[in-house]
Amino acid sequence: MRVLLTGSTGFVGRGLLKKMVSDGHWDLVTAVRSQSVSCAYKQVESLTVAELGADTDWRKALKGVDAVIHCAARAHVIHENVANPLAAFRKVNVEGTMSLARQSARAGVRRFIFISTIKVNGEGTLLGVPYASDTPPAPMDPYGVSKMEAEMGLRALAAETGMEVVIIRPALVYGPGVKANFLSMMRILNKGIPLPLGAIYNRRSLVALDNLVDLILICIAHPDAANQTFLVSDGDDLSTTELLCRMAMALGKPARLLPVPSWMLERGAAMLGKKALSQRLCGSLQVDIGKTREVLGWTPPVSVDLALEATAKHFLELETLKVTA
């Protein structure tokens, strides 16, 4: 089976590419924006494609392709610096995605796998009331809105053309090489800096990169995945306090957590204009992967603790290289 992978230089795309090359039985082609970031694997065909947008020409990349895994996107930006963020997200995540999907249908692609985000559902749940795949979408930021609009367009295209579409909405993805807030958390824990997060009793779903990759590969050919939307997590929701304790253990460090009540943190964050940060630290965001398990017969192959250990090992190796450089 010939598969086109977009976004192969991103966090999820790199993990997926590594696994597919390791498996050794995929006829794989990747799309990159320039040969300077061409695929590092000689056995993988790498084609230069213009930046993702409405006018991108995918004809060469789609030649003979049976399935597309679309990871490329304008990712969530914490510190946005464009005048119209929604327009910027729509240009790539909606117009670019739909152009690729339409060209895929015309080229005879059988299945189109779209890596979306749990942000399509929203930014948080009540404790013990997780999002499900049929929960009405309620995106709160331009990134989530753009992904929702792309999902809607893909479903309409599937109905019109018969090309099968699979939509996957991951919870927060972590693993070796993770960046952003997860990386910041590891740095703070590794330095032994005390944190006022020892009494947080929320629940948040995460998904290890290896678990997400495993699900994506199943969705390439599983007959029951066609035209379905799947939520994905590790199936083991953690409180912020539990996550910090487990991550510190994986790093071989003590977790110096002060038991400050969450309501105090939330009030203080609101006074400082950091309400979104307090929501991520104190609020819940849970996903129900019951449908994913039932329809696909899928179980996350990697436990949270093993995934955290792999993430910590990679982080510590990089820190050691920095010291010796």
Contacts of 72 (CB under 8 A, 6+ apart): 6, 7, 10, 13, 31, 52, 92, 96
**Catalytic position from the list 41, 131, 143, 201:** 143
Question: How many helices (H) does the chain have, and how many strands (E)?
Answer: 11, 9
Contact 174, 307 (CB under 8 A): yes
Query: And the tokens for 97?
Result: 């995605």
Distance (Å, whole) CA 127 – CA 116: 23
Query: And the tokens for 144?
Result: 């989530």
Establish whether 201 is a catalytic residue.
no
Q: Tell me how far CA of residue 183 lies from CA of 36, 186, 199, 277, in angstroms.
A: 26, 5, 22, 15
Q: Tell me how far CA of residue 305 lies from CA of 117, 207, 257, 282, in angstroms.
A: 23, 12, 19, 21
For the CA atoms of 295, 283, 72, 314, the dihedral, rounded to the nearest 10 degrees, stands at -100
Residues acting as catalytic residues: 143
